[in-house]
């Protein structure tokens, strides 16, 4: 079963009820760009634990950098390089985890889903057969094109 990647910014829009139905059937995977998710963690009212986890791991990454700077002066100069490497791994993992947490929250929260929809931030990974059948049906039934 092949999947088709369609972005919300390309004019493909699914309303919340359609997304939840297709998601439960396993015909749709919902995604969001990591940079959009990072800005949402700072700006939107999302679940507190999602935002708190994002900020906690950001502070851990900053702490690793500062501690590696300290160690580079007191122990070995190259600890700073190791610290940068570890901090970059934490940062990338945190951004990806934050995006997954926001997607999981948006599947349950119609307001959050619609807020991200207004930003053209969704990425849909949809079953190709489902996509083709949706495009063959009436546009008002399944697909809503954004203006």
* 142 Cα distance to chain centroid: 24
Q: Helices (H), strands (E): how many in the chain?
A: 6, 5
pLDDT recorded at residue 73:
94
The pair of structure tokens assigned to 141 is 């039934």
Mean pLDDT computed over 39-51 = 71
Q: Over the stretch 3-23, which tens digit does the pLDDT of each residue have?
A: 777 777 677 778 888 888 888
pLDDT recorded at residue 145:
43
- Measure Cα distances from 83 to 54, 59, 64, 93 in Å: 19, 14, 6, 15
List 28's β-bridge partners, or say none: 126
Lowest mean pLDDT among 24-28, 97-101, 103-107, 143-147: 143-147
* Nearest CA among 136, 133, 106, 108 for reference residue 122: 106
pLDDT recorded at residue 41:
77
pLDDT recorded at residue 135:
61
Mean pLDDT computed over 33-39 = 82
Q: pTM to 2 decimals?
A: 0.74
The pair of structure tokens assigned to 136 is 């063959």
pLDDT recorded at residue 46:
65
Highest mean pLDDT among 40-49, 89-98, 117-126: 89-98
- Decide: residue 26, CB within 10 A, 0-12 exposed, 13-18 middle, 19+ buried: exposed
- Decide: residue 73, CB within 10 A, 0-12 exposed, 13-18 middle, 19+ buried: exposed
33 pLDDT exceeds 80? yes
pLDDT recorded at residue 144:
47
Q: Over the stretch 66-116, which tens digit does the pLDDT of each residue have?
A: 999 999 999 999 999 999 999 999 999 988 888 888 888 889 888 888 888
d(CA 65, CA 107) in angstroms, rounded, equals 35
pLDDT recorded at residue 47:
65
């Amino acid at each position: 079963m092949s999947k088709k990647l369609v972005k919300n910014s390309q004019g493909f829009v699914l309303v919340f009820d359609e997304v939840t139905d297709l998601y439960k059937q396993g015909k749709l995977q919902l995604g969001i760009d990591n940079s959009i998710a990072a800005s949402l963690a700072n700006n939107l009212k999302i679940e507190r634990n999602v935002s708190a986890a994002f900020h906690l791991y950001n502070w851990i990454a900053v702490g690793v950098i500062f501690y590696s700077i300290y160690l580079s002066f007191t122990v070995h100069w190259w600890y700073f390089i190791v610290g940068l490497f570890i901090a970059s791994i934490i940062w990338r993992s945190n951004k990806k985890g934050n995006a997954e947490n926001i997607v999981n929250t948006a599947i349950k929260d119609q307001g959050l889903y619609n807020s991200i929809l207004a930003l053209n931030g969704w990425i849909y990974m949809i079953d190709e057969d489902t996509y083709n059948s949706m495009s063959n049906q009436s546009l008002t039934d399944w697909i809503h094109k954004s203006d």
